[in-house]
Chain A
Amino acid sequence: MRIAERAKAWWAFALAASAAPTSYLIAMPCGGACAGCPMGGGCFLAYPVLVALAIGAKSVRFGKGLLRRRP
């Protein structure tokens, strides 16, 4: 149990530690203009939206497959 708790804390630490460097990398293509563009944070939302769309598309295909297999 203690090991699991420690692992959780270290995992949280690692994730949080990667937050600033990751935002640096994500913002790289925009260079000095990042955060100054009129997208209003759209890029920030784009990643989760893309992942959600990908998962959605997969599940739709999966759903269609299920339907097709029905007698």
Chain B
Amino acid sequence: MNAKETLIRNRWRYISFVVGFFLFVAPFALFTRAVYLIVGNTAEPTLHSVCFRMPIDWIFGGRFYSIFGSSWFMAAFVFGVIISSIFLGAAFCGWLCPVGAVSEAISRAVPIPNKFRLRIRDTKLTMSMRYGFLVGFIAVAALVGYKLASDQLGSICCRYCASSVLQNFASALFGDLSAIEYWQSGAIISLLFWLVIGGLFMSGGRGWCLFFCPLGAFSGLAHKLGARLGFYRIEHKPESCNGCNKCQDVCPMWAIKEDHNIERTLCVNCKECVHACDAYKLIRGRKIADS
């Protein structure tokens, strides 16, 4: 499939990603800025103001009270994204998140032959890796939070962060070079995992989302729960399927199982499978599955 076709097919999603950039990334951060204005917060909003990691770190590190502190908006944002995934699927990941958008865009824009790109077809394996990393992440948060390990990883986690890399890129692009000291080991390693290994050399360009983002992992779980309860989801109709596997090739999240059903914990509702094949149908509103 050529780039022009992909662009046309995904036009609304790509427009939405651009909107996402302006909503959350400084110097714009329009959404955060608007909320700050309403509540009278004078801080300068950036992508860090809606950190995908810290509220999860607080909860598992025994600092539950922090979500009611001065960074309450960060917690409200993260929990809002997770709870909305019950009703809308992981729509933030598939339609708004600038971090996922950049790596996906790079993978689509750079024409590397597919044989040089990694794709794991076994969804169980992908899931095991995604949730394995989440468990390790939570374990470290708990060890540090309960003072069983020194808190050096607090700073390390912030350094190894694709969102930070993106924010610092954007700041530099728009003239703020004050974060120049940021461009050291952590940023280079994150960049490597986010855009090179996870972007260029993984089919779909969502390696960071698949394996390292705790918000994405929790959103996936919430979507699975929502789909079980009958909310928004994509269903595969086996009677319309001819087994061509095109759906597996187009899914950026490697979420399509061997039997062509969708592994909901991985799906980000990008609807690539729906565009690629009539066997996939969107279920809106609340409808319990027939089977």
- Interface residues of chain A, those whose CB is within 8 Å of chain B, are 5, 8-10, 12-21, 23-24, 27-28, 31-32, 34-44
Is the beta-carbon distance between B160 and A10 smaller than 8 angstroms?
no
Is the beta-carbon distance between A44 and B185 smaller than 8 angstroms?
yes
> Within the complex, which residue of B136, B184, B185, B188 is in contact with A19, where a contact is CB–CB below 8 Å?
B136
Contacts of B133 in A (CB 8 A): 16-17, 19-20
A37 to B155 alpha-carbon distance, docked (Å): 13
Is the beta-carbon distance between A24 and B192 smaller than 8 angstroms?
no
Q: Which residues in window 118-164 of B have CB below 8 A to A? A: 122, 124-125, 127-133, 135-137, 139-140, 143, 149-150, 152-153, 155-156, 159-160
Is the beta-carbon distance between A20 and B140 smaller than 8 angstroms?
yes
B174 to chain A, nearest CB (A): 24
Mark interface residues in B157-197 (1 if CB within 8 Å of A CB, else 0).
Answer: 00110000000000000000000010011111100100000
A20 to chain B, nearest CB (A): 4
A32 to B150 alpha-carbon distance, docked (Å): 10
Known contacts A35-B184, A35-B189; is A18 also within 8 Å of B152 by CB?
no
B110 to chain A, nearest CB (A): 22
Q: How many A-B residue pairs have CB under 8 A?
A: 101
Contacts of B159 in A (CB 8 A): 34-36
Is the beta-carbon distance between A16 and B211 smaller than 8 angstroms?
yes
Contacts of B128 in A (CB 8 A): 9-10, 12-13, 16
Is the beta-carbon distance between B185 and A16 smaller than 8 angstroms?
no
A7 to chain B, nearest CB (A): 11
A12 to B130 alpha-carbon distance, docked (Å): 9
The contact sample of 29 A-B pairs, CB cut-off 8 A, is: A5-B122, A5-B124, A9-B127, A10-B128, A12-B128, A13-B128, A13-B129, A16-B129, A17-B135, A18-B136, A20-B133, A20-B137, A21-B136, A21-B143, A24-B152, A27-B153, A28-B152, A32-B155, A34-B156, A35-B155, A35-B156, A35-B184, A35-B185, A35-B187, A37-B185, A38-B184, A40-B184, A41-B192, A43-B185
For the residues of B in contact with A, the DSSP-based class is helix
Total count of chain B residues near the partner, CB < 8 A: 33
Contacts of B181 in A (CB 8 A): 36
Please indicate which of the listed interface residues A9, A20, A27, A34 has the most CB atoms of chain B within 10 Å of its own CB. A20
Contacts of B122 in A (CB 8 A): 5, 8
Contacts of A23 in B (CB 8 A): 156, 160
Is the beta-carbon distance between A17 and B139 smaller than 8 angstroms?
yes
- Closest residue of A by beta carbon distance from B192: A41
Mark interface residues in B188-213 (1 if CB within 8 Å of A CB, else 0).
Answer: 11001000000000000000000100
A8 to B123 alpha-carbon distance, docked (Å): 12
Is the beta-carbon distance between A21 and B130 smaller than 8 angstroms?
no
- Closest residue of B by beta carbon distance from A35: B186
Is the beta-carbon distance between A40 and B125 smaller than 8 angstroms?
no
